Amino acid sequence: MTSPGGPAPFASAGEGPNASTGVLLSHGFTGSTVSMLGWARHLAGQGYAVSLPLLPGHGTTWQELARTPWQRWYQGYEDAYTELAGRTDRVVAAGLSMGGALALRLAALQPVAGVAVVNPGLTVADPRARYAGLLKYVLPSVPAIGNSIRLPGQDEGAYARTPVGAVAQLLKLFKDTAGLLPRVNVPVIAFRSTVDPIVPESSMDLLRRLVGSTELEVVPLTNSYHVATMDHDAQLIFDRSHEFIQRVSAGATA
């Protein structure tokens, strides 16, 4: 098992009967693995083989993120999938926010057993975001979007500033992923905060409307904001995702 904490990758080899199932996790935009460590460690404790990569452009500086195209974020996630799939019988894709979009995109392009997402991002609320590709030349960064957490004392390790150029890349990722949603035909569980200041409800509307899966379960989170993996409802996410992974793993071997 790697990474005691901080913005670094985490991996667990798995043990016992669940070791043949891999779970691939992704953090969100401008965030880091810190937001997902609790979830990753819980699943590793259940015996799953777990991989939580630090996405390119993240965990360093916002200026580096501004120089990193969205394809590299996805490639970092898919590379981790390739490694995990090579040592397990099946993989469940999971992610928070933008990481949810990456998980859904992976499910459209690679054979996974299921998808578990938390407040998945597919749209952006701020109408100014559509002009980010031009605004980046006059406004390189804006205030941070991190730490949308109801539970006091939490810090997800996000950047102090949000690079506007990266917002333009985020929109391209969302558009690309939305176009692939009809190809996602495996079970999906989506955890959705009833109060989320970051990802608008239009993201969930898009998921419901376009996803190709006949099985989409939405679990409401009534006591958490956006980064629910570090909030009051974290244990609910951990427990319900474990049940989901058990079920889709059994289905994959049936």
Q: What is the model's pLDDT at position 1? A: 45
Cα-to-chain-centroid distance, residue 181: 15
Q: Quote the pTM value.
A: 0.94
Beta-sheet pairing, 10-12 with 49-52:
antiparallel
When pLDDT is averaged across residues 102-120 and rounded to a whole number, the result is 98
The yes-or-no answer on residue 226 being catalytic is yes
Q: How far apart are CA 22 and CA 44, in angstroms?
A: 10
The yes-or-no answer on residue 97 being catalytic is yes
Residue with tokens 């996000």: 158
Out of 3, 97, 141, 224, which one is annotated catalytic?
Answer: 97
The yes-or-no answer on residue 233 being catalytic is no
Percent of the chain with pLDDT over 90: 84
Out of 224, 226, 231, 249, which one is annotated catalytic?
Answer: 226
Out of 3, 12, 193, 196, which one is annotated catalytic?
Answer: 196
Residue 146 has pLDDT above 90, yes or no: no
Residue 43 has pLDDT above 90, yes or no: yes
Q: What is the model's pLDDT at position 253? A: 65
Question: What is the identity of the amino acid at 242?
Answer: H
